[in-house]
Copies of this chain bind each other. A is one copy, B any other.
Amino acid sequence: MSTPLTGDLSPEEFRAAAHAAVDWIADLLEHPERQHVRSRVAPGDIRAALPATPPIGGEPLAAMLRDVQDTLLPGITHWNHPGFFAYFANSAAYPGILGELLTAGLNANGMLWITSPTVVELEETTLDWLRQLMGLGAGWFGEITDTASVSTFYALAAARERAGLDIRAQGMAGRTDLPRLRVYCSEHAHSSIDKAVIALGLGHDNLVKIACDSQYRMRPDALAAAIDADVAAGYRPIAVVPCVGTTSVTSIDPVPAVVRIARAHDLWVHVDAAYAGPAAIVPELRYLMDGVDGADSLVVNPHKWLFTPMDCSVLYTKDPAALKQAFALLPEYLITATTQGAATNLMDYGLQLGRRFRALKLWMVLRAYGAEGLASRLRAHCELARDFAGMVHYEGGWELMAPVTLSLVCFRHAPPGLSEEQLAVHNAALLERVNANGRVYLSHTKIDGRYMLRLAIGNIRTDAHWVQLAWEELRVAAAGV
């Protein structure tokens, strides 16, 4: 209707490039063996391969697709690769990729209900489905955030507000009427708890790390003692964060006991099940949610072990009023008929105003596999982990380092006569050799001074072949280190 502007882009060019991109992605996913899992570039290589200044005129989409293949792909570490066993898996199932494509095409922003009712109501519906799948009771309010770090930050912000100290209005600095506020978690809790406590201005020193038992689980007696000592010292305990599936070893804190102790002291209980939560979809693993219905909030990450593309974390809470009290604000330019009625406006439950349509990809993953399909995949990952643990245990010279509770195996090569320090150096070298080969990718951790390798299974494309391959790579590397 008006004159084309400089660098205009025809619908036909978009169609052609997007169809080509679909086939490129499909080819990539069908042929993981063509890629090194961990990128082999050195720091600065990718930057050096890109122009230092932006283009003046427009460039065709086809040229960019070529650059993605030639220039960018070598610097990609392939989280979608079935040989990815590092950290915890983030993998994107086909329906999730399809969901992301549609989300970008619609580009809906669900900041208010009216700015896209579907964004809000599909999020409500999908998160209620996920709640049911995990066997949780009714009464949970859910919202999607980008990462577990933000979900946990929101939960602790609500806890801080529910303490009734008017921190929202008055803040904490320069007041003489406030005690030190304390938060508790296990010594093996994730660093996101530390970051949340720091960001909220509670102070890292006020995050109390509770000692664990020999299986790396928070000790309820130690928690109770720490709370009692803090109260006696004039501190005010406000929250505790038990973890269902710790990062280092996937140990599971005793949530029912933690909830009982917390209730006696009016603490907010936030359960960190970012990795392990989806496993509760498997009927025989439903015990993972024991006691969680008595908690105040829960974080579960579908972008980890539920095959949904990055990013998609879910925060559930039984006390959305506290979350709203911590965050809601309504400036004039956002007032509509539905900001004052029955509709949910998700901007009231967190920092962010803009809200991407993230529920679509999760909804498509849940529908494409269904309860049984998801359970069969999660169960298969746990079986693969047990099989791998069996191989490690059977083979001489290797040792398991922690109980295999779900789909993570912690282990190491332990030739006789090496000190702890030598074992760490030896296994680090072994790990680097395996990872440099590029066929599989593992990571490590260290607990109580003991270095261990981590084989974390959770990619939707990982099957027995790839676990077997990892074991072969490890054995060959161990022989050669």
Contact of A53 with B129 in the complex, beta carbons under 8 Å: yes
Pick from A177-185, A285-293, A413-421 the stretch touching chain B: A177-185
When all copies of this chain in the complex are counted, the total is 2
Dominant SS among interface residues on chain A: helix
Q: How far is the CB of A245 from chain B (nearest CB, A)?
A: 13
Q: Contact partner of A132 among B54, B122, B148, B351, CB < 8 A?
A: B54
With A28-B105, A310-B109, A369-B58 as known contacts, state yes or no: A5 contacts B377, CB within 8 Å: yes
User: Which residues of chain B are near A93, meaning CB under 8 Å?
Assistant: 9
In the assembled complex, A437 has its CB within 8 A of some CB on chain B: no
Within 8 A of B (CB), among A222-239: 235
Contact of A204 with B57 in the complex, beta carbons under 8 Å: no
Pick from A163-171, A210-218, A389-397, A471-479 the stretch touching chain B: A163-171
Instruction: Please report the C-alpha to C-alpha distance between residue A100 and residue B21 in the assembled complex, in whole angstroms.
Output: 11
Contact of B180 with A171 in the complex, beta carbons under 8 Å: yes
Instruction: Please report the C-alpha to C-alpha distance between residue A458 and residue B172 in the assembled complex, in whole angstroms.
Output: 40
In the assembled complex, A162 has its CB within 8 A of some CB on chain B: no
In the assembled complex, A34 has its CB within 8 A of some CB on chain B: no
With A15-B23, A104-B96 as known contacts, state yes or no: A368 contacts B72, CB within 8 Å: no
Instruction: Please report the C-alpha to C-alpha distance between residue A345 and residue B76 in the assembled complex, in whole angstroms.
Output: 15
In the assembled complex, A439 has its CB within 8 A of some CB on chain B: no
Q: How far is the CB of A95 from chain B (nearest CB, A)?
A: 6
Q: How far is the CB of A108 from chain B (nearest CB, A)?
A: 5
Within 8 A of B (CB), among A130-161: 130, 132-133, 146-150, 153, 157, 160
Instruction: Please report the C-alpha to C-alpha distance between residue A329 and residue B196 in the assembled complex, in whole angstroms.
Output: 12
Within 8 A of B (CB), among A286-332: 303, 309-311, 326-327, 329, 331-332
Cβ-closest chain B residue relative to A303: B354
In the assembled complex, A128 has its CB within 8 A of some CB on chain B: yes
